[in-house]
Structure 1
Amino acid sequence: MQVVPTAGAGPTVAMVVVLVLILLSSSSSEANNVTKILDKFPQFSTFNHYLTVTHLADDINDRQTITVCAVDNAAMSDLLAKHLSIDSIKNVLSFHVILDYFGAEKLHKITNSTVLSATMFQATGSASGSSGFVNITDLKGGKVAFSPEGNDISAFYVKILQEIPYNISVIQISNILTSPEAEAPTPAPTQINLTSVMSAHGCKAFADALIAEPDAEKMFADNIEGGLTVFCPADDAFKNFLPKYHNLSEDHKQSLLEFHGVPVFLTMPNIKSDNGLMNTLATDGANKFDFEVQNVGQDVTLKTKVVTAKITGTLVQKRPLAIYTINKVLQPMELFNVTLSPAPAPEPVAEAPKKAKKGKNKSPPATDSPAASPDEDPADQTADKNVAAVRSFGGVRFIAGILGLWLANLSLYI
């Protein structure tokens, strides 16, 4: 029996589908908007306000995997009582943004009880050494503690505010995580010493090369204010490349260094979404000096005609400057010839023996053996053939072969 829905009987299938799509769209939008998530909790309004005015919310929303450790209005009052600059407040709050996903379940299943996690403050490049990391410790009785690297416990986990598994987790912690470095006055972006930041974070060899080329260093410095992304080869990679680098002319050294800079600020999500060719500081009209960005699974690669490098880490990601480490030196095709190995020569194809035709003045049938050289005696060639025949076929077959040749030659003259 067929059931026909009547008017007023309930929502149709189409209505249900539309409702589900709206809910999914709303959930997806909130997953990437930390301020909308915190809007639901008035007791976090001060924390949420400063995420907005410092533009830290934009950096958080650009990330795909992140944990925000929010504090309530009372805890924020303790921070504001220190009368810090807006840049220092941004650094302190960035210390509360962990570059990994920690939901409630994961917090209580930390391997070996403690894990060291990088924060967004570490990614700014303002943190020296590992001071931008936070220890997360699973304690007895279900407590989870948070402490800046090298310091005592500053805060405890309170509760989950919202979590989207493996995307974003917003949790409440009891107090502000104290960090003297984060609270210290910060220089304006144009005052950032680019080479010092690179030297302090595993790219000293590249930084030293940049210092030795003042024109290249100035090119990088002049582009920071308008937006700059640097792909910095790690020390081991650049040291292994030094023999090639020293063989370049001064102009080519400058071009190679500038090839590692892009005149725009790019977050990692930007890089992943902007696959394709990318111009560099070395690009100049006909001199393309570009490379191709490709995603391979979770890896992001930078590909030239000569080499393919992989992004291995983030040193700085704070508008207007981003610095990423790569595992190889980018080599532009404009400076390095691509040598292709020659294709292997084709195997010689032996011609099939031609059948002898009857007629006068015809030469004997050709054999499979190579032709005799001009200096070789025909009699010696015949003797060599006879020896080979004896070795290959034995005495009886040799005699049969001689008779066959004699009969064939005889037939030409009949």
Structure 2
Amino acid sequence: MAFTSLTFILLSSFCFILQAQAQAQAPAPSSGDVNLTAILVKGGQFTTLIKLLQDTQQLTQIQSQLNSTSQGFTVFAPTDNAFQNLKSGALNGLGEEQKVQLILYHVTPKYYSLSDLLTVSNPVRTQASGREGSWGLNFTGQGNQVNVSTGIVETQLNNALRQQFPLAVYQVDKVLLPEELFGAKSPAAAPSPKSAKSSPEIPSVGKTGGAPSPSGNGAAERNVGLGVIVGIGLICMGALF
């Protein structure tokens, strides 16, 4: 009886060890199992964003990098209404490279929970950072409310479509417009003030077309008068003799 009990204990311990080893050797869930498209489709109002992600080939890039990232990603997903509320031509007026920059501006190269975003150091780097300009996002808020600002627009993170490493996806009701693309353009340099026009040159005596000075006219008149008097005097003297 004692032998049977000892055998049972040994067999149970052996099975427990084998089970623990099997669990330890089991591969961790692959981040490649995370499907961003499926998350957005399930959200039900991100058709425009999905199309932009596909057209710019950034969907493939994000999915590929999710397989190897150690930092994760955070995606801010504008709704279809957010895109419809843009000014007419705002999106169509962008070139292909600018559309890529706009999409990358909605992605951070790090996983952030909502609580993380309340304590981050602003501005937070995005996938568009590293180009000319900051391309950063600023976060404020308290409690469960988090606001994101670009310097042009500000909106609240309303819904967490996914909040589990390596990917967080948050709904936003406005398209995040970076200042680098949509900010006020630097005013063109104002034309340098023209030098003051020189005052009209006063014609001097002796120049062609120049008006004679009053003093010159007076001297000439006096000379003519003196000549007339001398001439009359000579005529009179001739008559006497």
Instruction: Work out whether residues 258 and 281 of structure 1, in 8 Å CA contact, stay in contact via their aligned partners in 2.
Output: yes
Instruction: Work out whether residues 305 and 338 of structure 1, in 8 Å CA contact, stay in contact via their aligned partners in 2.
Output: no
| 1:227-262 superposed Cα distances (whole Å, 9 cap, x missing partner) | 011011122112323731111000000000010000
Question: Which structure is richer in relative contact order (CA contacts within 8 A, separation 6 or more)?
Answer: 2
- In the alignment, which residue of structure 2 is the partner of 1:230? 75
- In the alignment, which residue of structure 1 is the partner of 2:93? 247
Shift of 1:287: 3.3
- In the alignment, which residue of structure 2 is the partner of 1:204? 47
For residues 306 and 223 of structure 1, the distance between their equivalents in structure 2, rounded to whole angstroms, comes to 30
How much identity, in percent, do the aligned residues show?
25
Check 1:296–1:269 CA distance in 2 against 1; reply closer, same or farther (3 A cut): closer
Normalized against structure 1, the TM-score is what? 0.35
For residues 125 and 85 of structure 2, the distance between their equivalents in structure 1, rounded to whole angstroms, comes to 25
Alignment pair present for 1:325 and 2:203: no
Paired residue total:
158
User: Which segment drifts farther, 240-249 or 314-323?
Assistant: 240-249
Normalized against structure 2, the TM-score is what? 0.58
- Name the aligned partner's letter for residue 192 of structure 1: V
Check 1:243–1:329 CA distance in 2 against 1; reply closer, same or farther (3 A cut): same
Shift of 1:331: 0.4
Shift of 1:339: 7.0
Q: Extract unaligned runs of 5+ from structure 1.
A: 1-52, 54-84, 88-186, 341-414
Instruction: Work out whether residues 219 and 281 of structure 1, in 8 Å CA contact, stay in contact via their aligned partners in 2.
Output: no
Instruction: Work out whether residues 114 and 146 of structure 2, in 8 Å CA contact, stay in contact via their aligned partners in 1.
Output: no
Instruction: Work out whether residues 76 and 106 of structure 2, in 8 Å CA contact, stay in contact via their aligned partners in 1.
Output: yes
Shift of 1:306: 1.2
Instruction: Work out whether residues 195 and 210 of structure 1, in 8 Å CA contact, stay in contact via their aligned partners in 2.
Output: no
**Is the partner of 2:111 in helix, strand or coil?**
coil
Alignment pair present for 1:217 and 2:59: yes
The match for 1:313 among 159, 162, 165 is: 159
For residues 81 and 145 of structure 2, the distance between their equivalents in structure 1, rounded to whole angstroms, comes to 20
Alignment pair present for 1:272 and 2:118: yes
- In the alignment, which residue of structure 2 is the partner of 1:28? none
**Is the partner of 1:329 in helix, strand or coil?**
coil
Check 1:265–1:298 CA distance in 2 against 1; reply closer, same or farther (3 A cut): closer
Q: Extract unaligned runs of 5+ from structure 2.
A: 1-22, 187-241
The match for 1:195 among 37, 44, 49 is: 37
- Name the aligned partner's letter for residue 274 of structure 1: V
Instruction: Work out whether residues 75 and 169 of structure 2, in 8 Å CA contact, stay in contact via their aligned partners in 1.
Output: yes
For residues 268 and 274 of structure 1, the distance between their equivalents in structure 2, rounded to whole angstroms, comes to 10
